[in-house]
Amino acid sequence: MTNQDPKINLKADGKFFRRGSERLWLRTVTYGPFPPEKTPKIHEDLSCIKAAKFNSIRLFSLPEKALLDAAQAHGLLVFAGLNWRQFEDFISQPKLLSSARVHLCEWLKQHGNHPALAAIYVGNEIPSDMVRWMGPAVVRKAIESLINSGREISPHLLFAYANYPSTEYLEPGNADFTAFNIYLENPEPFRDYLRRLQNIAGDRPLLISEFGIDSFRQSPEIQAETLGWALNTADLEETAGLTIFAWSDLWFNGGSEIIDWDFGITDRSGNPKKGYVTAKDFTPAPRLETTHSFSIVVCSRNGAQRISTCLNAIQKIVGTNFETIVVDDGSIDQTSYIVSKQFPNIRLITIPPSGLSEARNIGIRASSGDIIAFTDDDCEPDIEWLVRLDRAFKDPDIAAAGGPNLPPAARNFTQAIVNAAPGAPSHVLLDDTRAEHLPGCNLAVRRSSLDAIGGFDTAFRTAGDDVDLCWRLRDAGFELRFMPGAFVWHWRRPSLLAFLKQQTGYGLAERILLDKHPKRFSKDGEARWDGFIYAGGPIRVDPDSIIYHGRMGQAGYQAISSRMQPLRPLEPNYLTPTTALIHRLICWLQPPLRRWSRSRRLKLPALKLSEPPAHEEVSEFHVSTDNHLERNQILDYLLSLNWQSAGSHDAWDVEKNGIRLLIATERLDQQHLNHLFRVWGDPQIIRDAIQPIIKRP
């Protein structure tokens, strides 16, 4: 086994990846599987892949050492894939999942420390009908169990599941990044869906794990053009990278060579197509300059223990034409001394204790930039923070912009619990790009817009000022833009007591908001947001989720119906029964504590008690056929017999006379299918109904 050098491991870096100290935008191409009788020339291929400026390859299996060695020799990272019987019912046949786990663990013990290995996909596009059959939440937990097993052996590697739009809800909570296979042939829908996926991903990087176009049905010219705008869009929409499917037209799947599509950027003889040239010529947009003048304003009160880390991060920011101003709001510690002695190039303004809003207004008046970017002394802006915010203001209709504030990795179990608790500063989105609220720790505003509404309201001394500002901007007709890549690291409160005290302060600030904006609160004193509340965790299914499946489960895009993002999960390193119990207690206590300080009303959340499910007679059977009979054909046949399609959120496909039916199909290989039938009611009625079409040649 080769010892792994931690300096060259690929790591998640907020919404992106890094290798060592270098941020790496992943330019990946899928490689294989190839027909057995057409063995590829690996070194020759990988040399051409590297020459096309790819920095990584994606495999659909766990490779032999020879391929890993070849990738290392050519300077390519490897994203390996666990190939297992995921297209079958692995919940009712647990040996399928167990076998996959054993295969993964044995391979990692042998090859997990190879320097070329970057990440493992533990699954790829489990069919939506099979997910619905097995139960979405159950399938998610199975995927998470594979990730946990792999991480126990190789904690230095990244793990993910290659998802797709038909099971959008199936994001594992413990993955290191969000990966989606996307096949859209027009730039606008592709761009819009990437924006949606950024919010589905939550705090973590978004990687396009497959994108391609068939040059057989289209043309090599259209393929090249499509790959060009896809690469450019993926870069501009702040993904962490894009994977082109595929390297070669040679493709082996389901036991057969696929000869009726040409997704490769090289043909079956290994000759480059126009798409190869497009991939080679692509250059990501430069991120070194800002087109607007920025003033960064940091307000601090007794921030001596935090301010150096914040300002050191700001000094590393790329971009031209920006200044930094620190407003010391009456600190009684060494804040001013540290700033003046350690950061002489940063402007320091010292004022008597005046409150956060007044401090920010003083910073605005002292600044010279066209855009005022606010962050807090417990934040560390990303190195590309300003250049990504700058892009938003190229639209003259945008008055303010901001991105996510992400908690750094916890240093102890208390930080882990606070990072995963509700009540953190969060943005609220009206859609995938328009914001209703942007928190003040990551908020940039045009000077002209601030002047138009009179800046911050000094009634808010510790919190709530950003909410009030955003509401007033929107009331004045201004637009707020969310930029997913413009993130700051935001250290949460260092103890549970400090966190609960913070929530009390938020409640007091909300009391002022309620008096000033009564129409934005309910009669019970709860804020009424029009948008979707960000909570940091990836959008993922749980047993209570309501999922839009579409008519008979056939929607191409299937999503959870929700108004709030799930909370960040507890970090795996600190996930124990004790921390899980404390986390549940904090989640239960936070809302009533904040409500009490806001309105002096005590309303404890009810404890969820599981109710026994209503008894229904459910039976299952299966019918094996060759591949001439698809699931959709069976459903269409039943519709012709006056069966009715179920609703888009129902757990079954069709119904008639009180009988309900769900169908899923296991794809055993290219020639054989196994249709699974779940019946609420008399199964013999279904057997009789489908008999004619089952026997049809």
Whole-angstrom distance, CA of residue 115 vs CA of residue 5: 7
pLDDT tens digits, residue range 118-138? 999 999 999 999 999 999 999
Q: Which part of the chain has CATH 3.20.20.80?
A: 6-281
CB-based contact 176:122 (threshold 8 Å): no
**H-type alpha helices, 563-630:** 577-599
Would you state the structure tokens that stand for residue 596, as one six-digit string?
A: 């009490």
Give residue 3's pLDDT: 43
Give residue 329's pLDDT: 97
Can you say how many angstroms the Cα of residue 254 is from the centroid of all Cα atoms in its chain?
30
pLDDT tens digits, residue range 614-635? 556 899 999 998 878 899 999 9
Give residue 695's pLDDT: 73
Q: Choose the CATH number for 6-281 among 3.20.20.80, 3.30.56.10, 2.40.30.170, 3.40.50.300.
A: 3.20.20.80
Can you say how many angstroms the Cα of residue 615 is from the centroid of all Cα atoms in its chain?
38
Q: Which part of the chain has CATH 3.90.550.10?
A: 294-534+575-599
> SS3 sequence, 366-432?
HCCCCEEEEEECCEEECCCHHHHHHHHCCCCCEEEEECCEECCCCCCHHHHHHHCCCCCCCCEECCC
Give residue 626's pLDDT: 80
Give residue 7's pLDDT: 47
Burial (CB < 10 A; 0-12, 13-18, 19+), residue 564, is middle
Give residue 563's pLDDT: 66
Whole-angstrom distance, CA of residue 490 vs CA of residue 376: 8
Q: Which part of the chain has CATH 3.30.1370.80?
A: 618-695
Q: Which residues contact 11 (CB under 8 A, 6 or more apart)?
A: 17, 18, 19, 158
Those residues of the chain that have pLDDT short of 50 are 1-4, 6-7, 609-610, 612-613
CB-based contact 666:674 (threshold 8 Å): yes
Q: Choose the CATH number for 618-695 among 3.40.50.11540, 3.30.1370.80, 3.40.50.2300, 3.40.1350.10.
A: 3.30.1370.80
* Cis, bond preceding 592 (omega within 30 deg of 0): no
Q: Say how many Å lie between the first and final Cα of the chain, rounded.
A: 54
Whole-angstrom distance, CA of residue 428 vs CA of residue 14: 19
Whole-angstrom distance, CA of residue 120 vs CA of residue 162: 10
CB-based contact 176:204 (threshold 8 Å): yes
Give residue 286's pLDDT: 82
Give residue 9's pLDDT: 82
**Class of the CATH domain delimited by 294-534+575-599:** alpha beta
Burial (CB < 10 A; 0-12, 13-18, 19+), residue 103, is middle
Give residue 305's pLDDT: 95
